[in-house]
Amino acid sequence: MSAATNETAVTIPDGWARRYAGLVRHGFGLLGSVLLTFLGLTCVTFIIGRVIPIDPVTAIVGEKATRSTYERVFKELSLDRPVYEQYWIYLKKILHGDFGNSLLTAHPVLSDLLHFFPATVELSLLSLIFGVCLGIPLGVTAATHNGRWPDQIVRFGSLLGYSMPVFWLGLVGLLVFYAKLGWVEGPGRIDVAFDDIVPTVTGMITIDSLLAGEDEVFWNAIGHLILPASILGYLSLAYVARMTRSFMLTQLRQEYVLATLAKGLSPFRVVWIHALGNVWVQLVTVIALTFGSLLEGAVLTETVFAWPGLGLYMKNSLFSADLNAVVGGTMLIGVVYIVLNMLSDVIYTLVDPRARARK
């Protein structure tokens, strides 16, 4: 009895120790990868700030400033120091959330980013939902009808989504659905009559209006949101459908599909439960990257629809030679990509039992 007890006492902690050690190693590896990626991102944004043909001092003081004023600001920006010292100062400011002030708005860049980013997230989230909810079923349908007319339609639609410029789609959508048919609201995020009615909580007007109980504001916001979200969603749909089709074709050629069909399982269950379940691990990464690309690629859509988000803010900042805002926006998008990759890695571990076993 004593020997059995001792054996149990040794075996169980040893198993948990191996499990814990694997998780710790994975966590440190993930943390190291994130830190290296972040340092690389800061290097890239630092270099961008140095290679853009814009004099940051002239952008601040103006072309008619005196020589003494120019030199004073030049030193305040630490441009008189070696490059490695400039990078160290830049890195410390980034870690403290200090991106400087925007020349366009005269506000701290960080506060501008926090103000404009929720609008882009709101637009991108609805676009992603549209793309995923339609793209995955279309991709599965195309794979199960490989070479037949449903597959050809999905492939043609995906090709159009890749080929047509987003600004052209936006202009055509405004002309047809807003100007001609009147089915949607026009450019902007909300009608002027509804400005400042809803208190800002999340920065997303649809959520904030629901929290405030303002149904009229909510539906007006949806009317403005639906067309740009559909345009962006079509682009994400094209990518998600194409990747889903590719993943499903690989799964449908596996032997387990024939085995499950031979056992009498319905084709619907085999395709939509077993085969699709095995591609979710890959789709998690695709969806995460798609969301990141929507956040990054909303510049043209926000410009066409006068959507007051991060993309429009960065475009206006670039045209105004507002280097701080451009670098700050680039850094924010890069951090979002890092976070999305971390989340996809975590979800990958939760979805795939083999990944949990390896850890």
**Contacts with 355 (C-beta within 8 Å, 6 or more apart), sequence order:** 281, 348, 349
For residue range 286-337, what is the model confidence (pLDDT) as tens digits? 888 888 888 876 778 888 898 888 888 888 888 877 788 888 888 888 888 8
CA 55, CA 216: separation in Å to the nearest integer?
47
**Contacts with 336 (C-beta within 8 Å, 6 or more apart), sequence order:** 292, 295
Which pTM was predicted?
0.80
CATH hierarchy code of domain 109-358: 1.10.3720.10
At residue 28, does pLDDT exceed 70?
Answer: no
For residue range 123-171, what is the model confidence (pLDDT) as tens digits? 999 999 999 999 999 999 999 998 899 899 999 988 888 788 888 888 8
Per-residue confidence (pLDDT) for residue 21, from 0 to 100: 62
Per-residue confidence (pLDDT) for residue 24, from 0 to 100: 65
Residue 23: pLDDT band by 50, 70, 90 thresholds?
A: low
For residue range 177-235, what is the model confidence (pLDDT) as tens digits? 998 888 888 888 888 888 888 888 888 999 999 998 888 999 999 999 999 999 999 98
- Both tokens of 224, joined, read 């403005």
Residue 3: pLDDT band by 50, 70, 90 thresholds?
A: very low
Alpha helices (H) along 253-322:
255-262, 267-269, 276-296, 299-304, 310-319
Per-residue confidence (pLDDT) for residue 132, from 0 to 100: 92
The residue ranges of DSSP E strands in the chain, in sequence order, are none
